[in-house]
Amino acid sequence: MTDDDRRDAVTPQQRQEPDSGNAPAVPAAGPAPAGEPEPPEGQPVPDRFEDPGLPEHRPRSTDRDPRAARRAEFQVAALFSLSVTGTLLALAAYYTVQVEDDLGVAELLGRLRLSTLLLGIGLFLALFCVGAGVVHWARRLMPGEEWTEHRHVLRGSDTDRAEARRILADGAAESGLGRRPLIRNTLVGALALAPLPAIALLRDTGPLPEDSLSRTFWRAGLHLVRDPEGGRIRPDDLVVGSVVHVMPEGVDEAEHPLEERAKAAVLVIRLDPEDLDQESLGGAHEGIVAYSKICTHMGCPVGLYEQQTRHLLCPCHQSTFDVSRHCQVIFGPAKRPLPQLPLTVDPEGYLVAADGFREAVGPSFWERG
């Protein structure tokens, strides 16, 4: 495809053809509406205005006035020089603003901020001024006249098409693909099966889930310890209205501590037993209840406990659970209540799990049931 470009050479050779909406195929407003089946016109096509053609080029001040051009030249050069200044500033900032280890935090961060700011401003000037200069140059000093280029429809000519069709048919015939179905069918079969090993190879990217989603580190008799400071908890430590973020003791020594923490996080809350319904009291110890902190919606830690309303709020999607009613969902996108961890105390008086979770914690999944 070749383009023939003429600056200002194209005058409106043909006016735009009316493009009728009720045509199945609307003729292009192009030069050759011939060949297009003229659609049946339901209504008379209104007379249309004529394209007046490209407006005359208006010379810019830089075209008319050599002094303006000279001024623009200086401006471009000034922008480029400013860019050089920016580069120098960035380099100077790089070498002079040092961030040493032995500074206090505030001073260290202050230095870092200064370094980032100066480097950034230097680099900004260096880059932006090159860009602004080049654009200014293009706008003010490079030719300001618009060009016109012809467009050609993308489809080939009818001859091209016929030829292409013939070539493809010939090639197909030469290969014998149509005549030899045995080859064709076995090839299709072979190609269809060939990717299977690739899929099989992906099998070892991870283990089968098995019951991993339903299992947690918690089991009967495991001590509750504070997260993150550690330390077992006695019921007396908790006053009404207090919460403790809790992990099972020994979780950090587990084979996969992060994975276990991701399922075992628990929030322990002490309420007035009067405020707890029958279901919640089942796993409670003297008004102390423990609920999984992993949201049943999308797994965020549900830690926002409002002690007055006894509501738990998830900060990610605002699911709200009512602790006094066995963590039923009272608002938001979660469906299931947070699972409760039944509590009791060991002979020494520390809080322990009476049992593991009786259902899978965290977000729903297909096999959950």
Partner 1 sequence: MSVTDEPAATGAGGEEIGVPDGTDRGTGGPSTAGPAGSGGTRTARAAGAVGTFADERFGASRIVRGFARKVFPDHWSFMLGEIALYSFVVLLITGVFLTLFYVPSVAPTTYEGSYAPLNGQQVSEAYASTLRLSFDVRGGLLVRQIHHWSALVFAAAILVHMFRVFFTGAFRKPRELNWVVGVVLALLAIFEGFAGYSLPDDLLSGTGLRIASSILLSIPFVGSYLSSFLFGGEFPGEAFIPRLYTIHVLILPAVFVLLISAHLFMVVLHKHTQYPGPGRRDDNVVGYPFYPVYLAKAGGFFFIVAGITTLMAAVFTINPIWAYGAYDPSPVTAGSQPDWYMGFLDGAARLAPGWWEFTAFGHTVSLNVLLPAVVLPGVLSIVAILYPWLESFVTRSRREHHVLDRPRNAPTRTGLGVMAITFYLLLLVSGGNDIIATQLHLSINAITVALRVLVIALPPIAFLVTKRICLGLQRRDRDLVLHGRETGRIVRTEQGEVYEVHEPIDERERWRLVQHQAHRPYEPPSPDETGSGNGHSVTVRDRLRSRLNRFYFRDRVDPVTPAELAAAQASGHGTGPGHGTGEGRSTEAPSTEAAGTTTER
Partner 2 sequence: MTTPQMNPPQPTAEARGAGKDTVTAPTARRRRRMATALLVPIGLLTTGLAYTLLAPGSAGAAPTGAEDVSAGRELFLANCSTCHGIDAGGRDLAPSLVGVGAAAVDFQVGTGRMPLRASGPQSPKGSKVTFSQEEIRRLAAYVASLGPGPEIPGASAVDPTLGDPSRGALIFRTNCAMCHNFAGKGGALTQGKYAPDLSDTSPTHIYEAMLTGPGSMPVFADTTLDSESKRDIIAYLDTINEAPSPGGLALGSLGPVSEGLVAWVVGLSALIGCAVWVGARSS
- The residue (of 291 and 305) whose beta carbon lies closer to partner 2 is 305
Does the footprint of partner 1 cover residue 30 (CB under 8 A)? Answer: yes
Q: Which of 233, 369, 230 is nearest to 290 (CA)?
A: 233
Among the residue ranges 21-29, 178-186, 205-213, 246-254, the one whose residues contact partner 2 (CB under 8 A): 246-254
Residue ranges in 156-215 that form contacts with partner 2 under rule CB under 8 A = none
User: How many CB atoms sit inside 10 A of residue 275's CB?
Assistant: 13
Strand partners, 113: none
Residue ranges in 51-70 that form contacts with partner 2 under rule CB under 8 A = 58, 60-62
Residue ranges in 108-147 that form contacts with partner 2 under rule CB under 8 A = 108-110, 112-113, 116-117, 120, 135, 139-140, 144
- Which residue in 58, 153, 195, 236 binds partner 1 (CB under 8 A)? 153
Does the footprint of partner 2 cover residue 76 (CB under 8 A)? Answer: no
Does the footprint of partner 1 cover residue 310 (CB under 8 A)? Answer: no
Q: How far, in Å, CA of 316 to CA of 336, rounded?
A: 16
> Rounded to an integer, what is the distance from CA 332 to the centroid of its chain?
23
Does the footprint of partner 1 cover residue 132 (CB under 8 A)? Answer: yes
Angle at 77 between CA 74 and CA 78, to 5 degrees: 85
- Which residue in 66, 181, 195, 207 binds partner 1 (CB under 8 A)? 207
Q: How far is the CB of 180 from partner 1 (least distance, A)?
A: 27
Strand partners, 285: 288
Q: How far, in Å, CA of 119 to CA of 87, rounded?
A: 9
Q: How far, in Å, CA of 301 to CA of 262, rounded?
A: 9
- The residue (of 351 and 353) whose beta carbon lies closer to partner 2 is 351
DSSP H or E run through 263: helix 257-264
Q: How far is the CB of 107 from partner 2 (least distance, A)?
A: 9
Helix axes 105-140, 66-96, angle to 10 degrees: 160
Q: How far, in Å, CA of 212 to CA of 285, rounded?
A: 28
Does the footprint of partner 2 cover residue 243 (CB under 8 A)? Answer: yes
DSSP string, 272-297: -GGGS-HHHHTT-BTTEEEEE-B-TT
Does the footprint of partner 2 cover residue 106 (CB under 8 A)? Answer: yes
Tell me which of partner 2, partner 1, none is bound by residue 31, counting a contact when its beta carbon lies within the kind-specific cut-off of 5 to 8 angstroms: partner 1
- The residue (of 27 and 249) whose beta carbon lies closer to partner 2 is 249
User: How many CB atoms sit inside 10 A of residue 116's CB?
Assistant: 13
Residue ranges that bind partner 2, judged by CB under 8 A: 58, 60-62, 105-106, 108-110, 112-113, 116-117, 120, 135, 139-140, 144, 225-234, 236-245, 247, 252-253, 257-258, 261, 269, 301, 303-309, 311, 313, 315, 318, 320, 331, 348, 350
